[in-house]
Amino acid sequence: MCDMENFSMIQKQNTRFYIEKALFECLETVCWNDLIVSMVCTQAQISRRTFYRHYKNLHDFIRQWFFALEQDYLRQNDVLDHYGPARISRDLFTFFAPYQNELVLLTKAGYDLQPVFLGAASRSIPGRAPVSANLEDSPLAWFSAGGFYVLWMDWI
């Protein structure tokens, strides 16, 4: 990777970090529906143009933030050799523990995490399904995704 590409990647990571930090700081005092991009940009000390260069809106930022978490979760947790709710629960809650404060802020501020969580489940369940998965496990896995969401929201 050339120096310019490396610089650009680092700059994008830094921008994402500043926006993330600012967004969650804003959510400590402002509900989601009242939060606007300019508030986050002021807090992050970046221009709105910089924000919009990377994200369409605040929802897009949260979706991308959660998608990055989802990808980390999938990298850290092996494909299952069988469908085991206890193992999935342990993996899920262990992974998300460091992000609990952010998830609580989003929830208390009124952000609906259900579409984000279930979207992640719809992408990750097939990827984590047992290699020897049969069709009988599939409905249980999808049904469980909703159950895990309820448990997850209770945990938050």
Express each pLDDT in 72-104 by its tens digit. Answer: 988 887 766 666 778 878 888 899 999 999 999
Task: Give the Å distances, CA to CA, from 57 to 24, 26, 30, 31.
Answer: 15, 15, 17, 16
The confidence score (pLDDT) of residue 135 equals 46
The H-assigned helical ranges of the chain are 3-27, 37-44, 48-54, 58-76, 85-96, 100-108, 114-128, 137-155
Buried b (16+ CB within 10 A) or exposed e, 46-67: beeeebeeebeebeebbbebbe
Tokens of 120: 């992640």
Q: Exposed/middle/buried for 149, CB within 10 Å: 0-12, 13-18, 19+?
A: middle
State the pTM of this model.
0.78
Question: pLDDT tens for residues 43-66?
Answer: 999 999 999 999 999 999 999 999
The domains of the chain are located at: 1-55, 58-156
**Domain covering 1-55 in this structure, CATH number:** 1.10.10
Among the ranges given (40-44, 68-72, 146-150), the one the predictor scored with the smallest mean pLDDT: 146-150
Closest among 156, 62, 52, 44 to 115, alpha carbons compared: 62
Name the average pLDDT for the chain: 84
C-alpha 54: how far from its chain's center?
A: 17
